[in-house]
Amino acid sequence: MTDIFQYRFDGVVHIHLNRPEKKNALSQQMYRELTLALQQAATDDSINVVLLQGTKDCFSAGNDLHDFLGAGALNAEHPTVQFLYELAQFPKPIIAAVAGLAIGIGTTALLHCDLVYAADNARFQLPFTQLGLCPEAGSSVLLPSVVGYQRAAQYLLLGESFTAADALQMGLVNQVVAMDALTELAVQKAIKLAALPAAAVQTSKALLKRTTQQITLESITAELQQFQRLLNSDESQQRIAAFFQR
């Protein structure tokens, strides 16, 4: 049974994370499937928009740490690394529909999405320092550019959680609705966007990202190097071990 489902309609591919027993924590197999889904969507002329969504209680609780720790060095062959670079360079619009928990990569991935809609039960957190780690997915450059340095420092250094209302006020999400209305809203926006001239939309996205994409890719590379260094440290290993014992 797969933990990721895809539905295609009206120029949209709707990708669902569906591992509720693990709060949609991303395994290496899920990263492989997500990367492949993005690669296929990028080259499929019948697809103009990607819509990414979790379950009603959880968008994603971040990495499946057991699986992640067993996947080896963070190099070009690592499924997580491949996904990050694919996401950062994806040429077509990505819409995210976020309900429930969005932790770690569940939040940093949103920084690469073009439109983000959240349910009022959404809760975000970037607990990297609490595990003795550092930001990833280009968030060290993307989050300050979206919410400002002080707020980025609050959430990346202290690892404090924040609500959907906070995310809306900061500009991290476009709109907050009741949980039962989230899918309908996101689907409507995806269909509307997919119906527009694809070349015009993709060119506009490329122009919007032209000044940030290279620095984002460089940031992902730098973050991965530091993430690996910290991950190998005794302090991080102790904090991760304590996390598993909770």
Instruction: Tell me the domain boundaries of the chain.
Output: 4-181
Cα 96 from Cα 98, distance rounded (Å):
6
pLDDT tens digits, the chain, 246 residues: what are they? 589 999 999 999 999 999 999 999 999 999 999 999 999 999 999 999 999 999 999 999 998 888 887 778 888 999 999 999 999 999 999 999 999 999 999 999 999 999 999 999 999 999 999 999 999 999 999 999 999 999 999 999 999 999 999 999 999 999 999 999 999 999 999 999 999 999 999 999 999 999 999 999 999 999 999 999 999 999 998 888 887 776
Look up residue 112 and give its DSSP letter.
G
Residues in the chain, total: 246
Question: What is the pTM assigned to this prediction?
Answer: 0.94
CA dist., res. 45 & res. 39, Å (int): 12
**Under a CB-based contact definition with an 8 Å cutoff, are residues 11 and 194 in contact?**
yes
CB environment 33-65: b (16+ within 10 A), e (fewer): bbbebbeebeeeeebbbbbbbbbeebbbbbbbe
Task: Write the DSSP string, 31-72.
Answer: HHHHHHHHHHHHH-TT--EEEEE--SSEEE--B-HHHHHTS-
In this structure, the dihedral spanned by the alpha carbons of residues 191, 109, 122 and 32, taken in order and rounded to 10 degrees, is 80
Question: Hey, what are 170's tokens?
Answer: 């900061």
Amino acid in the structure at residue 92: K
Within 10 angstroms of residue 188's Cβ, the number of other Cβ atoms is 11
Give the separation between CA 129 and CA 133, rounded to whole angstroms.
5
Amino acid at 153: A
Which residue has tokens 């491949």? 82
CATH of 4-181, one of 3.90.1150.10, 3.90.800.10, 3.40.50.300, 3.90.226.10: 3.90.226.10
Cα 1 to Cα 17, 168, 170, distances in angstroms: 12, 35, 38
**What is the CA angle 121-97-110, rounded to 5?**
100
